Amino acid sequence: MRKTAGRRRGRLLGGLMLLAAGLAAQGAQAAEPAAASRAGSGSTLLRVLATRSHMHCPVPGRAARVASIDSPGEWDDVIEQQGEVAALGRKVRWNHERVLLYAVDMQGRQAVPVRLESPSPMIRLTGGVLYWPVRQRPIEGIDVRSARPCVMAIIDRAFWQRIRIVPTRPL
């Protein structure tokens, strides 16, 4: 009888230890920030943590531009005389986040002033390509010659080779 009770206690303790280990693992996963989630077919979804549109982009030049900025030094090289808080509304946590930038060219005769927006809370990363949805909203009352619209977004840090802008429909 004693041996049977001892075995039961051993099994019970073993089961409790496995249960505790499983719960601890679940708790550790819940405590970590959800940097990225897996989407179907080999895609990863990255969170858009902050976004800001500018009618007068703080990037030098007038040509269209897509850029990924991943350090304070690179920020200083790309962005002209504007800090992170002024340009994005908050500081960037460079160890965990990157900044995306998309600026359009307003040089053409047929150019219509637009406001650029990053409407999606998630951005898809598939096969080394980051697919960034951007909405162009026509606006009135802005001189095309003085406007250089751009949009910036802070996203979870990840690695990609290319950024593809995916036009979305205006509301």
- pLDDT tens per residue across span 126-160: 999 999 999 999 888 777 777 889 999 999 999 99
pLDDT in tens, 76-115: 999 988 899 999 999 999 999 999 999 988 776 566 788 8
Q: 139: which residues sit within 8 A by CB, 6+ positions away?
A: 113, 114, 115
Domain ranges of the chain: 1-32, 36-168
CA distances from 148 to 22, 38, 103 (A): 53, 35, 7
| 42-82 residue pLDDT tens | 899 999 999 999 988 888 887 889 999 999 999 999 998 88
pTM for the complete prediction?
0.73
Question: What residues are paired with 66 via a beta bridge?
Answer: 102
